Amino acid sequence: MEEFVFARVLHVLGVVLWIGGVAMVTTVLLPTLARMQSPTEAMLFFENFRRRFAAQARYSTLFVGLSGFYMTYVMDAWSRFLQWQYWWMHTMVLIWLLFTIMLFVFEPRTRKNESTDGTNKNVSSQSFVRIMRMHFVLLTLSLITVAGAVAGSHGWLISGSAS
C-alpha cells in the first residue's frame, strides 16, 4: 500500500509541475511576450524558454504516465475505461498522450528547424497567435480534466454514486 501512496504522490506532483507550468506559460509568459514591440524578439525569447521548460515537462509527463499506469494496474481499474462515469480517466490519458507526443516528437522536430542562431526558420507572423490559442485550449482541457479527476477519484461521479 505504501508504494501506491508513493505513486499517487509522484502522480500529483508531476501534474502540478506539468499543468502548473502550462498555466504559467499560457496566462503570464505568452501575454507578456505578445506585448513586446518586436515579434522576432518575443519568438526568440519564447523558443529559448520553451527549450528549457520542455525538459522539465518531459520528466513531469514521464512521472505522470508511469505512476498513472502503475496505479491503474494496482487497483485493477482497467474496467473504468469502459464506463462513461469515469470520463476523466479517458481525458487524463488523452491529455497525457497529446502532451507526450508534443514533447517527445514535435518539440524535438522544431528544434531541428532552428538555425544556428537559435531562431526558427519557419516562424510566421501567425505563429505566435497559433501558439497562444493552442496553449489556451490545452490549458482549458487540462484544467477540466484535473477538476474531473479530483472529483471522480473522491467518489463524485456523474451518476451521483460513489465508486
Convert the pLDDT of each residue in 132-143 to its tens digit: 899 999 999 999
Give which of 139, 4, 12, 9 is closest to 74, Cα–Cα.
4
Are the C-beta atoms of 97 and 89 separated by less than 8 Å? no
Is residue 112 within 8 A of residue 2, CB to CB? The reply is no
**Over 90: is that where the pLDDT of 74 sits?**
yes
**Dihedral pair phi/psi, residue 88, rounded to 5°:** -65, -25
Q: What is the pLDDT of residues 35-57, one digit of tens each?
A: 888 878 888 888 889 888 989 99
**Can you say whether residue 62 is alpha, beta or left, with left for phi > 0 and alpha for psi between -120 and 50 degrees?**
alpha
In this structure, the number of other CB atoms found within 10 A of the CB of residue 124 comes to 11
Query: Does position 118 have pLDDT exceeding 70, yes or no?
Result: no
CB atoms within 10 A of CB 87: 16
Of 67, 54, 74, residue with least CA distance to 14: 67
Q: How confident is the model at residue 67 (pLDDT cuts 50, 70, 90)?
A: very high
